[in-house]
Amino acid sequence: MGRKSLKEPRQREIIKAFYKVAKKEGLENASIAKTAEVIGINPSLVMHYFKTKEHLVYGLIEYILDKYLLIYKIPPEYSGHPRKALLKIIDNIFSSKWNTLFDDSVSYSCYSLAFRNKIIKEKYKNLLDALRERLRLLIQDCKDLGILSVEDPALTADIIFVLVDGAYYYLSLVSDKEEYQRKLMRYKRQAAAYLSFVPSAELAK
């Protein structure tokens, strides 16, 4: 199934309200009625856009992707500097910025439904594939410019996100802030090592 963007303002408003309820009460307790109550509309209007709670979950997964893609936004001064831009993206991914884009409990609750719902499974895979593809394109650009010596940009992007997925799943269980930051920096250094940047002296030759 292709990805449907939440283009209509009302759709996004409803999904944001559903997310708010899920974040506060848990996805299992979120409902069409509670979502409608948050924004002061009739439940029938919610059902006009999302026929069932299941369809709200589909929309929520699209919203998760939209939020996570914000990590690829970089300041204008990085334009024209692919090496700096790629390192900035890696820094964004392994930072509190990434982990605060979307609530872990809601994200993992959505993910757990993938084991019982084929549509959610496909949507979640599309979400993760989209994040990998954005990183692959950045790595490919750097490789084409001779900045990186990686053989396979797609594999490199995949490995980095395997590290990301495992890192945040584990770190969600770490309560000590110093330990959390120490491990996160270790994972970021490992991800940067996978990129195999060509030394600046070599580029100058």
**Per-residue 3-state assignment (H helix, E strand, C coil) for 99-118:** HCCCCHHHHHHHHHHCCCCH
Cα-only R_g, the chain: 19
Name the residue with tokens 């026929």: 51
Residue 1 has pLDDT above 80, yes or no: no
Read off the pLDDT of each residue in 78-91 and give the average, rounded to a whole number: 90
Most confident of 32-36, 71-75, 86-90: 32-36
Residue 200 has pLDDT above 60, yes or no: no
Read off the pLDDT of each residue in 48-76 and give the average, rounded to a whole number: 92
Give the domains, in start order, of the chain with CATH numbers. Answer: 9-64 (1.10.10.60), 81-203 (1.10.357.10)
Structure tokens at 132: 């990998």
> What pTM did the predictor assign?
0.85
Name the residue with tokens 């009739």: 42
Name the residue with tokens 């949507």: 123
Read off the pLDDT of each residue in 156-164 and give the average, rounded to a whole number: 96
- Name, in order, each residue with C-beta under 8 angstroms of 192's C-beta and a sequence gap of 6 or more: 87, 90
**Alpha carbon separation from 22 to 53, 60, 70, 102 (Å, rounded):** 12, 10, 21, 12
**Three-state SS at 64:** helix
Q: CA–CA separation, 161 vs 165, rounded Å? A: 6
What was the pLDDT predicted at 8? 83
Residue type present at position 92:
N
Per the prediction, the chain carries an average pLDDT of: 90
- Report how far Cα 22 is from the mean position of its chain's Cα atoms: 18
The mean-pLDDT minimum among 131-140, 154-163, 191-200 falls in 191-200
**Alpha carbon separation from 7 to 3, 13, 107, 134, 182 (Å, rounded):** 12, 10, 21, 21, 39
